[in-house]
Amino acid sequence: MNNQPSSKKFLAWFNPLGRQPGSWAFILSRITALGLTFYLFLHLVVLGRLAQGPQAYQEFLALAESPIVKLGELAVIAAVIYHGLNGIRIILTSFGIGVAHQQRLFYASVALALAGTVFFGIRLFGG
Amino acid sequence: MTEKWNITLRIYRQKTGELPHFDDFAMEVDPNEYVLDAIERVWAFHDRSLCFRHACHHSTCGACGMRINGVEKLTCITVIRDVTHNGATLKVEPLRNFPVVSDLAVDMGVFYRKMEMVGARAVLPVTEAEIEHPPATWQPEDARYIRLSDCLECGLCISACPVAATTIEYLGPAPLAAAQDVGLRRSPELLTIIDSEDGLWRCHSAFECTAVCPSFVDPGRRIMNLRKQAIGLKLTKLFGKPGVPQP
Amino acid sequence: MPKSHVIIIGAGFTGVAIAHDLALRGCDITVIERGDICNGTSGRTHGLLHSGGRYAVKDKESAIECIQENTILRRIVPQVIEPNGGLFIALNESDLSYAEQFIESCQECGIPLDELTPQHALQLEPNINPKLLSAFVVPDGTFDPLRLALAFAATAKHNGARFRTFTEVEGLQIDGQGNVIGVNILDRTSNQRMGIRADVVVNATGAWAGQITSMASLDAPVTPTPGIMVAYDQRLVQRAVNRLNVPGDGDIVLPQRRMVVVGTTSFDAENVDYIPVVEEQTKLMLERGSELIPGIRNAKPRGIYMATRPLISGGSGRSIARTFKCYDHKQTHNIDGLVTITGGKATTLRLMAEKTADVVCAKLGISAPCITQDMPLLSYREYYAIPN
């Protein structure tokens, strides 16, 4: 019979239609988590290149100036701030602290993540 | 003069051995009546083969939970005006995460077994029904009075929970909320049931359960409170003196 | 010796209570219900566990049944009951003049009652009309309709009864002598039709009794009599509040979870499958309910619904006796194999089942006595927890 719980339904996690802010927080945490894991992998690859000597590192620095990479770094910044703050929200609520304010805490995490993104965006791309 | 709307009820149908599909029913409704009234009229006047559950029609039995336009609702107290408008289509589907018995009726067996397992209280003293702002009308001696617990065991929270969607092993919001209501102080043996990878710690704070609960249970808050209780109990066990009864 | 097979049509209060009783007496039971448990009248019951006070003056038979069954139900199924007692309050001279016969009649029927001063009543229930003139306390209670039925159904299921829900009886199987020997059903979950044989068929369909008896070309002596209920979103009282007077419209207010429910009215209806809400009656409930509890005017309606009582014919509206009757159609129409139970009220479900089971067992030659009055029921959750 269908309509049963199934591990394949994890994709349903990413469907925010008709859902509450708590679900959005849940979804964004997972997406940022996946994103940051991928970033960590990339970071290790880069460090690997460092180990190959100054020539390889210079090549990397040249690449790092390109707008696409900078955009990627901005995405990482947004993800880190959001994921970190929402993580704190989850830690707090998990201990029964601030449960009544969980939606506000989520909005605050998003707002701070956006603010941080704008700030670092200006620094990365501005003169 | 009652207002009349013309809406289409798009109802999920599934019979044994057949593929699910949707049937459309054009209905004239009073926007101030309840979604369940319209569904009942579909059954009474249009299609007697429609299977759905309903009993009390006033949010005490929990039988009539369904998804209306994708959102979990108790249809007997859901006013049509609040979920649709004149000329629109109203989608009616069974709850998620339960096997479908037929059409809109789902199999609640596993869920009820979980509620029994945690010893959910069906009746409790009036003053133990946790609410943040008790009515000024309740007096201290009201503790003598017994009332039916808030949880209707309607299953809306299980349907809305993203974790419950992925595994049937997860205890789920209502059973965990019921365990919180019983309390680890009263029943420390509950700890073994809830303190597992499919119990208390599986919740990921989506708070969908609290959002859809029609009966003020606030399962999200109760699960977090239960975590506090569980940690407290485990720490006491860790550091408590042997031979001394633990709370 | 193989067990007798009894088919019970209808899984409302009467059907599930009979299933429970007969299962304990050793019958093989199949309950057939076209919806799910408490789909019809039973689900929409007001939920008053009667002390009998309401009937003491005009219907002593009902009142005595109520107080006895009230006591039994508190013992065997406390899991579904808010046992907080009830008040009868007098708001005017007409009410007050009813008090004397009320007291006498309650005492006659064995209904414990206490008179309270208005001050004391207001201490107990701060939200009742402060202008009340007098109050009496009786052992009323409130119950959850579905869960009451589920508790009976769960125990019956545990003892072997089979429940076929979403299954409609399309016809009765009749043998050459005109006796009922089974039912023809349509399983709505699979669109399959089949016949099931039975030694006795019990028609426990309440307000729909006529539909089943017509399948054997009989009339059922039941007058469907709907009434309205309005549930408001504040729990303004902890116990049932009744108007002290002859039974009338909107004179009972019950607490239930976080609501109060005002009921009811009484009128005739033809089509029993769907009764639309009548707005004048909603307004009447607001009027009469707020006479008892003024705070209702500031509460919002949470649910408004109609329920159809199965009253025994021979009278109209409120004068119809609220007792129940069990008809063995062998005696009424010389048609064997069919028994109809109708009338009654939720509070007396166990007694209705006992009397019906007595009739059924007499027909089947079963001498086991009824033991339901002392049998605590299983948790209502077991009905769903035990697989079909």
Mutation to test the B interface, candidates A99, A103, A104, A107, most B Cβ within 10 Å: A99
Q: Cβ separation of B112 and C385 shorter than 8 Å?
A: yes
Q: What is the mean pLDDT of the segment spanning C56-72?
A: 93
Distances (CA, A) of B65 to B70, C145, C385: 12, 17, 18
Total number of domains constituting chain B:
2
Chains C and A touch (3+ CB pairs under 8 A): no
- Rounded (5°) CA angle C151-C156-C160: 145
Please determine, for residue B59, whether its predicted confidence score (pLDDT) is greater than 60: yes
Q: What is the mean pLDDT of the segment spanning B9-13?
A: 97
Percent of chain C with pLDDT over 70: 97
Query: Is B186 a domain residue?
Result: yes
Q: Which domain holds residue B37?
A: 5-106
Q: What is the mean pLDDT of the segment spanning A29-40?
A: 93
Of A55-64, B31-40, C40-49, where does mean pLDDT reach its minimum? A55-64
Report the DSSP beta bridge partners of residue A12.
none
Please determine, for residue C40, whether its predicted confidence score (pLDDT) is greater than 80: yes
Report chain A residues whose CB lies below 8 A from the CB of B69.
18
Contacts of B240 (CB under 8 A, 6+ apart): B246
SS3 assignment, position B24? strand
Q: Cβ separation of C380 and B61 shorter than 8 Å?
A: no
Average pLDDT value for chain C: 93
Whether B69 and B118 map to the same domain: the answer is no
Find the Cα–Cα–Cα–Cα dihedral C70, C76, C81, C83, rounded to 10°. 60
Report the CATH number of the C48-143+223-312 domain.
3.30.9.10
Sign of CA dihedral C111, C117, C118, C124: negative
First to last CA, chain C: 25
Report the DSSP beta bridge partners of residue C197.
C182
Whether B153 and B224 map to the same domain: the answer is yes
Nearest to C107 by CA among C57, C70, C69: C57
Domain ranges of chain C: 5-42+146-221+322-385, 48-143+223-312
Of C170-179, C240-249, C311-320, where does mean pLDDT reach its minimum? C311-320
ipTM of the complex: 0.93
Distances (CA, A) of C122 to B193, C83, C293: 45, 19, 11
Query: Is B61 a domain residue?
Result: yes
The C residues from 67 to 126 touching B (CB cutoff 8 Å) are: 78-84, 123, 126
Report the CATH number of the A21-125 domain.
1.20.1300.10
| Per-residue pLDDT at B134 | 56
| Per-residue pLDDT at B241 | 53
Given pLDDT bands bounded at 50, 70 and 90, which one contains residue A1? very low
Helix-strand-coil percent breakdown of chain A, rounded to 5?
80, 0, 20
Q: Cβ separation of B61 and C258 shorter than 8 Å?
A: no
User: Is the CATH code 3.40.190.10 the one for domain C5-42+146-221+322-385?
Assistant: no
Q: How many residues does chain B have?
A: 247
Query: Is B245 a domain residue?
Result: no
Residue B177 identity (one-letter amino acid)? A
| Per-residue pLDDT at B1 | 56
Query: Is B44 a domain residue?
Result: yes
Contacts of B180 (CB under 8 A, 6+ apart): B222, B223, B225, B226, B229
CATH code of the domain covering residue B174: 1.10.1060.10
Whether B193 and B216 map to the same domain: the answer is yes
What pLDDT digit, counting tens, does each position of B158-180 carry? 999 989 988 899 999 999 999 99
Whether B113 and B232 map to the same domain: the answer is yes
Whether the CB-CB separation of B246 and B236 falls below 8 Å is answered with yes
**A11 in contact with B, Cβ within 8 Å:** no
Percent of chain B with pLDDT over 70: 91
Whether B233 and B113 map to the same domain: the answer is yes
Q: What distance in Å separates the CA atoms of residue A105 and residue A98, rounded to the nearest whole number?
A: 8
Whether B164 and B81 map to the same domain: the answer is no
Closest Cα in chain C, distance from residue B37 (Å):
8
Q: How many CB pairs under 8 A join B and C?
A: 165
Closest Cα in chain B, distance from residue A120 (Å):
29
Residue where one domain finishes, among candidates B38, B71, B106 = B106
Whether the CB-CB separation of B80 and B33 falls below 8 Å is answered with yes
Residue A14 identity (one-letter amino acid)? F
Of A13-27, B98-112, C174-188, where does mean pLDDT reach its minimum? A13-27
As to burial, measured by CB atoms within 10 angstroms (0-12 exposed, 13-18 middle, 19+ buried), residue C99 is middle
Query: Is B232 a domain residue?
Result: yes
Q: What distance in Å separates the CA atoms of residue B160 and residue B156, rounded to the nearest whole number?
A: 6
Q: How many residues does chain A have?
A: 127
Nearest to C216 by CA among C199, C203, C205, C198: C203
Q: What is the mean pLDDT of the segment spanning C62-71?
A: 94
Mutation to test the B interface, candidates C150, C191, C238, C270, most B Cβ within 10 Å: C238
Residue where one domain finishes, among candidates B73, B106, B139 = B106
**DSSP element (H, E) containing A68:** helix A67-94
SS3 assignment, position C141? strand
Residue where one domain finishes, among candidates B71, B106, B141 = B106
As to burial, measured by CB atoms within 10 angstroms (0-12 exposed, 13-18 middle, 19+ buried), residue A6 is middle
What pLDDT digit, counting tens, does each position of C273-311 carry? 999 999 999 999 999 999 999 999 999 999 999 999 888
Per-residue b/e over B210-235, b at no fewer than 16 CB within 10 Å? bbbbbbebbbbbbbbbbbebbeebee
Domain ranges of chain A: 21-125
Whether the CB-CB separation of B127 and B142 falls below 8 Å is answered with yes
**Closest residue to B49, CB basis, from C188, C274, C295:** C188
Please determine, for residue B138, whether its predicted confidence score (pLDDT) is greater than 80: no
Whether B12 and B65 map to the same domain: the answer is yes
- Greater confidence, C195 or A124? C195
Of B229-238, C225-234, C299-308, where does mean pLDDT reach its minimum? B229-238
Residue C131 identity (one-letter amino acid)? K
Report chain B residues whose CB lies below 8 A from the CB of A2.
20, 99-100
CATH code of the domain covering residue B15: 3.10.20.30
Q: What distance in Å separates the CA atoms of residue C223 and residue C249, rounded to the nearest whole number?
A: 18
Whether B115 and B53 map to the same domain: the answer is no
Distances (CA, A) of B229 to A19, B191, B204: 29, 9, 18
Whether B65 and B115 map to the same domain: the answer is no
Closest Cα in chain C, distance from residue B52 (Å):
7
Closest Cα in chain A, distance from residue B3 (Å):
28
Given pLDDT bands bounded at 50, 70 and 90, which one contains residue C143? very high
| Per-residue pLDDT at C280 | 93
| Per-residue pLDDT at B127 | 78
Q: What distance in Å separates the CA atoms of residue C195 and residue B203, rounded to the nearest whole number?
A: 48
| Per-residue pLDDT at C195 | 97
What pLDDT digit, counting tens, does each position of A82-114 carry? 999 999 999 888 887 888 888 899 999 999 999
As to burial, measured by CB atoms within 10 angstroms (0-12 exposed, 13-18 middle, 19+ buried), residue C236 is buried
Q: Cβ separation of B148 and C257 shorter than 8 Å?
A: yes
Whether B71 and B86 map to the same domain: the answer is yes
Q: How many residues does chain C have?
A: 388
What SS3 string covers B41-84?
A: HHHHHHCCCCCCCCCCCCCCCCCCEEEECCEEEEHHHCEHHHHC
SS3 assignment, position B6? strand
Closest Cα in chain B, distance from residue C238 (Å):
7
Please determine, for residue B132, whether its predicted confidence score (pLDDT) is greater than 90: no
pTM higher than the cut 0.90: yes
Q: What distance in Å separates the CA atoms of residue B24 and residue B19, rounded to the nearest whole number?
A: 16
Please determine, for residue B131, whether its predicted confidence score (pLDDT) is greater than 80: no
**B22 in contact with C, Cβ within 8 Å:** no
Please determine, for residue B239, whether its predicted confidence score (pLDDT) is greater than 90: no
CA gyration radius, chain A: 19
